[in-house]
Copies of this chain bind each other. A is one copy, B any other.
Amino acid sequence: MFLFHATKYECPFDCFINMIKGKWRTTIILSLINGPKRFSQLHRLINGISAKVLSDNLQILEENHILTRTVYPAIPPTVEYCLTEQGTEFANIIEDINTWAYHYTKID
């Protein structure tokens, strides 16, 4: 299907690679599966990530329409991140990958 059986493999899914790439991206996405969360919630939930890296990655994911960022003007400010429909599909794919990876690690 698509270009994969052709002679050259110009990958149309570079978008996916860009989205999954990086140490934290998939973890962030999976953390939002059960519903929207705030910045500090994500920060606490994802063990070991720095605020800067979390912020950077959230921006990238927002630009790619994987999640939405909603600001509730208040003091203190509240910002909520939520998966888009596409982001949810994306999360499902990551879970499928996990199924494979689980068996894979069993083999090793």
Contact = CB atoms under 8 A, between A and B. Distances in A.
Interface residues of A, number: 44
B11 A26 contact: yes
A70 interface: no
A45 B9 contact: yes
B47 A102 contact: no
Q: Is the interface of A mostly helix, strand, loop or mixed?
A: helix
Interface string A31-70: 1011000000000011100000000000000000100000
Contacts of A104: 15-16, 86
A79 interface: no
13 contacts: A1-B95, A9-B27, A9-B31, A9-B45, A9-B46, A11-B30, A13-B98, A13-B100, A15-B105, A17-B23, A89-B100, A93-B96, A93-B97
